[in-house]
Amino acid sequence: MKLKIEAAGQLTSGIRKFTLAPVDGAVLPRAGAGSHVVLEIPGPNRVWKNAYSITSAADALAYEIMVRRVEKSRGGSAWLHEHAKVGDVLEVYPPQNLFAPQRKAKRHLLLSAGIGITPFLSYLKLPGLAYEMHHCCKPEDETAFRTLLPSGPEATLHTSRNTLNLEALLKRQKLDTHLSVCGPESFMDVVLATAAHVGWPAAKVHKESFGGATGGEPFVAHLKRSGVKVNVGREESLLDAMEAAGLTPPCLCRGGACGECKLTVLDGVPAHHDHYLSETERAANNAIMICVSRAKTPELVLDF
């Protein structure tokens, strides 16, 4: 669907927010708490497809998103910061949800850092949600984030790691509390490790990862059934390279989270960067999530 950038503005020096509205009065699909949209971003030589969490409420008349400018971005976030302007029309895929709130939980503990706040902004718009939220940010961004959070005691901002005592926080939660976490990989690792350490049940925690698009050594993907060999460059993903070669592999989130793009590895060793495969599946090395993962060997043979 085509959506128009209706408003754009700087939230912090590194985060820009956008309002995306339907063109000519079309009805916007509802986006439940935790949903994201994938935007087609017109680059100079190619189109980027990036996922952004929707921060507005399910029944809002426009989607709101917030985009962090990724340092050394070769793609979409740089364009959205430097070129996107009010009035631009973008191709947007209908919302999907990989991070819906756990509705059976009596209480929610929401922990985020940096841009990881975005999915929780839609959670906070759920009527009657019983929650406690802690958000970590850089001191210079405190004022901006303050405007996004309710003023009551349920939401706390932390500008230094020392003021968030994770272990004590987790230990004092009531049973029936569900933990949701979103933020940089390092932040989520610490939260999950602490949760495991204090004996928090694995079923009562879920996270959303924005994908670690890191790039890497070029390699060749040999797509056996299609009979095609595709060169995957340093700065593109295997999925992007396959699409550029005219193939249409399955995909959804393009960020290693949804599981849709899994392909079978027939030969070669994948370098896993996804958040979907289990430890056992990873170790077996016979499956790869093509949207984020790469190769440790010069060539990968895939069943596609």
Partner 1 sequence: MKLSLKPQETFRDDYTFSNSDEAILRFPFPFPEDSYMYSVNMEPHVRGGASPVYNAMFDIDEHYVGDMADRAITLDQDPLRCQVLPHMETAEWDTLELLMENLANDYPEHFSLTKNDDEWHWINRPLDIDQKFTFGREETLPFGPFEYITRQVQGDFSLQDQRDNNLYMDGGMVTSQADWSLNFDVGMSFHEWHGPVPLAHESGVFDRALQYLLRMQCGKPVRRLNWTMTANPRLDTSPENYPLWGPEKAAITPENVGHRMCLRVELQTLYRLPRSNAILFSIRGYLIRLEELAKVKKWAVRMHRVIRDLHPRIAEYKGLPRYRQYVVDYFAPHDDGRVLNAGIGPEQDGI
Ligand X SMILES: Cc1cc2nc3c(=O)[nH]c(=O)nc-3n(C[C@H](O)[C@H](O)[C@H](O)COP(=O)(O)OP(=O)(O)OC[C@H]3O[C@@H](n4cnc5c(N)ncnc54)[C@H](O)[C@@H]3O)c2cc1C
Which chain residues interact with partner 1 by CB under 8 A?
29-34, 58-59, 94-97, 100, 102-104, 203, 252, 258-260
**Rounded to the nearest whole angstrom, what is the least distance from the CB of residue 59 to partner 1 in the complex?**
8
36 binds ligand X (CB under 6 A): yes
Exactly one of 31, 98, 109, 121 binds ligand X (CB under 6 A); which one? 98
292 binds ligand X (CB under 6 A): yes
Nearer residue to ligand FES within complex by CB, 14 or 34: 34
**Rounded to the nearest whole angstrom, what is the least distance from the CB of residue 67 to ligand X in the complex?**
4
Binding residues for ligand FES, total number by CB under 6 A? 14
66 binds ligand X (CB under 6 A): yes
Report the C-alpha gap between 218 and 294 in whole angstroms. Answer: 9
276 binds ligand FES (CB under 6 A): yes
84 binds ligand FES (CB under 6 A): no
**Rounded to the nearest whole angstrom, what is the least distance from the CB of residue 255 to ligand FES in the complex?**
6
Tokens of 233: 């460059």
DSSP the chain: -EEEEEEEEESSSSEEEEEEEEGGGPPPPP--TTEEEEEEEE-SSSEEEEEEE--S-TT-SSEEEEEE--TT--SHHHHHHHT--TT-EEEEEEEEES----TT-SEEEEEEEGGGGHHHHHHTTSTT--EEEEEE--GGGHHHHHTTS-SSTTEEEESSGGG--HHHHHHTPPTTEEEEEES-HHHHHHHHHHHHHTT--GGGEEEE----------EEEEETTTTEEEEE-TTS-HHHHHHHTT-----SSSSS-S-TTEEEEEES-EE---SSS-HHHHHHT-EEETTT-EESSSEEEE--
Rounded to 5 degrees, what angle do the CA atoms 68, 71, 77 make?
Answer: 45
User: Looking at beta carbons, which residue is closest to ligand X?
Assistant: 255
Residue pair 292/211 in contact by the 8 Å Cβ criterion: yes
Exactly one of 42, 184, 216, 259 binds ligand FES (CB under 6 A); which one? 259
276 binds, among ligand FES, ligand X, partner 1, none (CB under 5 to 8 A by kind): ligand FES
Nearer residue to partner 1 within complex by CB, 163 or 264: 264
270 binds ligand X (CB under 6 A): no
Exactly one of 257, 265, 287, 302 binds ligand X (CB under 6 A); which one? 257
Tokens 């509802």 identify what position?
Answer: 30
254 binds ligand FES (CB under 6 A): yes
Report the C-alpha gap between 245 and 128 in whole angstroms. Answer: 49
**Rounded to the nearest whole angstrom, what is the least distance from the CB of residue 182 to ligand X in the complex?**
9
Sheet holding 63-68, edge to edge: 47-53, 35-42, 89-97, 2-10, 15-22, 63-68
**Rounded to the nearest whole angstrom, what is the least distance from the CB of residue 2 to partner 1 in the complex?**
16
Exactly one of 117, 232, 289, 300 binds ligand FES (CB under 6 A); which one? 289
Q: Write the interaction track for ligand FES spanning residues 25-64; mark x where CB under 6 A is met and - where it is not.
A: ----------------------------------------
Residue numbers at the binding site for ligand X (CB under 6 A) = 36, 48, 50-53, 65-68, 70, 73-78, 98, 115, 118, 210-211, 213-216, 235-237, 240, 253, 255, 257, 273, 292, 294
Residue numbers at the binding site for ligand FES (CB under 6 A) = 251-254, 256-261, 274, 276, 289, 291
